[in-house]
Structure 1
């Protein structure tokens, strides 16, 4: 397939999974009605996000989180819709939870989970246990990767996904400043892949949820209120030919460096660095 429709959510989040779960499922139905094959949600969407919404994990009803997750998986199967859903993932006490993205297939199966690898100082000292592995999965011939929030500041994670052959990076956040969007667009343009940027309605005043193209331009953007937008990954889009057919393959060759080593010269004019 050369095209794939995905939905990028911008939901209002709470600290109560029993409120967040129905919100997720309503947006899943909206995404399916729009013909999306995958719907993508923000960081911490199901459980609520620590630091901003949760001060202590004792506040979280983990049984409710699991029950709501089960209902999300069942609806994913009913709608034949892939779901990538942010939530804290509890570990065995006294270990702190992971900050995660659940990857649920269109048959309702949880096939993988991305655990945030780079956490903020507050997150790592008070709230979360870090993850250590990238996650890549495939939908209808398109490869997806996952990243979360503060990881936007670590370009090596984004270049890693380029080397893993990702077509679209699903980036979930609960942002604290507007520069996040600029960084996301830069990573999309540098690595020449799509980036789905999902944030909660509470932070839409900084920037909205969006689907960013491999050229760094926003293809679709949400409004100022809660809702979702649907965009298309189109490998044959004429405006993306430069990014997908030329820039990305050439940059892969350039990173290996052989083409430059083969053209290395031995010349006194090259070696004399203090002469005009």
Structure 2
């Protein structure tokens, strides 16, 4: 028993060091001469290795060089996610550029209607395309936040603040448009979306939300009712100083209340107080990026939430409450 515990400790140590799953680390160590370990019946439940990242923020909408640097940074994080065995990388809201409301304002020095001609669209779209190409090279699902215009609409007026779902071929598989905008976003900057978005990978269903939507419990519970296993929450973090942990705390509370995995992707300037991470359905952080203002990724192996039992009971009770039939 002591030898077995020591061997398993060695496997866990390798997994923590390399970012591999326990199974991958076990396979590597077993391949070494003389290494053996007792076998157990295989777990046939689908498992997916998820990576979540924190990225360096950029607020100047016209800084082309910095936008290109952000694109290179994202592709580096994609490579690190792929090398760590991830099938999906989740990145923050407006990961290439989260434009300042004052720098984008049509009235210098004031907060007014945004002038989107100040945004370096050509550089931004070039970097998005490079990210799509890199996703295809790596065979990596990549979820990244970006402002976008609706297909077929000319780049004028207000864009939407979107979350792009890029599949392993580099194709845009889905686009989520933020629905519950902050007061500033709604008044001066963006057009709101109107519907949730879900997609499936390897037997798991994912739902997208962004911005301050993590403060609205109904967004999570609606996704849970649709059978989502993991909510991908992309944000730049709160704008109020001292409130860095508010959205991260809401994410783990929502995970526990709804029995969901929640991936929390945030800009790296918020990391010293609330880094990016992945919460279990029990509302516990199972993996977090370093508490440092630098780009990073972290990993977790996640599984579908079992149907029936408590999950089905919760859905029926919530539906009865919404319909007013539980009285």
Q: 1:181 aligns with which of 229, 239, 248?
A: 248
Q: 1:115-170: CA deviations, max 9, x gaps? A: 10011111111111111010000111110000012112222111110111111000
Q: Give the ranges of 4+ consecutive aligned residues of structure 1 lying more than 4 Å apart after TM superposition.
A: 261-264
Matches within 5 A, 1:45-84: 45-46=95-96, 48-51=97-100, 54-56=103-105, 57-84=116-143
| SS, match of residue 78 in structure 1 | helix
Question: 1:222 — aligned with what?
Answer: 289
Check 1:53–1:168 CA distance in 2 against 1; reply closer, same or farther (3 A cut).
Answer: farther
**Deviation of the 1:184 alpha carbon:** 0.9
Is the aligned partner of 1:213 residue 2:283?
no
1:113 equivalent among 164, 175, 192: 175
Match of 2:317 among 249, 254, 264: 254
Q: 1:253: Cα distance to partner?
A: 3.0
SS at match of 1:208: coil
Conserved? CA contact 1:62–1:90, under 8 Å: no
Q: Are the equivalent residues in 1 in contact too, given 2:104–2:119 (CA < 8 A)?
A: no
Query: 1:24: how far off?
Result: 0.8
Contact 1:208 1:222 in 2 (8 A): yes
How many pairs does the alignment contain? 255
From 57, 76, 79, the counterpart of 1:26: 76
**SS at the partner of 2:212?**
helix
For structure 1, which runs of at least 5 residues remain unmatched after alignment?
A: 265-276
| Distance in 1 separating the partners of 2:283 and 2:236 | 21
Question: Residues 147, 54 of structure 1: CA spacing in aligned structure 2 closer, same or farther, 3 A cutoff?
Answer: farther
* TM alignment of 1:135-174, pairs within 5 A: 135-174=197-236
The answer (yes or no) to whether the contact 1:192–1:247 under 8 Å persists in 2 is no
Partner of residue 273, structure 1:
none
The answer (yes or no) to whether the contact 1:158–1:191 under 8 Å persists in 2 is yes
Q: Which residue of 2 aligns with 1:128?
A: 190
Bigger share in strand:
1
TM-score by length of 1: 0.85
* Contact kept in structure 1, 2:101 and 2:189, CA below 8 Å: no
2-structure distance, mates of 1:59, 1:164? 39
- SS, match of residue 179 in structure 1: helix
Comparing 8-17 with 30-39, which one deviates more in the overlay? Answer: 8-17
Q: 1:222 to 1:54 in 2, by over 3 A?
A: farther
**Structure 2 residue 296 is the aligned partner of structure 1 residue 233:** no
Q: What displacement does 1:45 show?
A: 0.3
Residue 269 of structure 1: aligned partner: none
* Shift, 1:18, TM fit: 1.1
**CA drift at 1:249:** 2.5
Partner residue of 2:37?
none
Q: Give the counterpart of 1:42 among 88, 92, 99.
A: 92
Question: Mapping of 1:99-110 within 5 angstroms?
Answer: 99-110=161-172
Q: Give the gaps of 5 or more residues in structure 2.
A: 1-44, 61-65, 106-115
